[in-house]
A = this chain, B = another copy of it.
Amino acid sequence: MDAADFVTGFSRAIERKVIDVAIAATSADTSRGSMPIDPIVVHDSVHATLRMFLAPAAPTGWTATRQQQIDGRVVVNERLDRFQIGNGWLKLPVAGFFELDDAGLIPQWPSYCDTGSCARPLAALA
């Protein structure tokens, strides 16, 4: 499986909330580095965050409008992430960089998104 397909599989696991599959794709030194949020450097914390993020009450959509492998093991995508909150959906444009390690797992995925522009719709939905 090539790196882009691997990231697509990871994204589909996130969307479908298949937690074990998503976690299996991450490596032991996984750090989830969202730019607005400090990187999470401990593996257990990443898993706890994934489990919280993928809670059954919060359907999720990760729609990649562009995704391509660059630099050997790095996959970049532009996405519109959607999170169901209450009866509405928060839509968040994201640029993600997935850097696979030697084992083909995901140790980190720095993500660029704007917390400023989603604060108002988030408050309206909450």
Contact = CB atoms under 8 A, between A and B. Distances in A.
Interface of A: 35-36, 66, 68, 70-71, 74, 76, 78, 93-95, 97, 110, 112-117, 119
How many protomers of this protein does the assembly include? 2
A3 B71 CA distance: 16
A36 B114 contact: yes
Contacts of A36: 114, 116-117
Given A66-B97, A97-B95, A110 B78 contact: yes
Contacts of A112: 78, 93-95, 112-114
Contacts of A113: 35, 112, 114
Contacts of A117: 35-36, 115-116
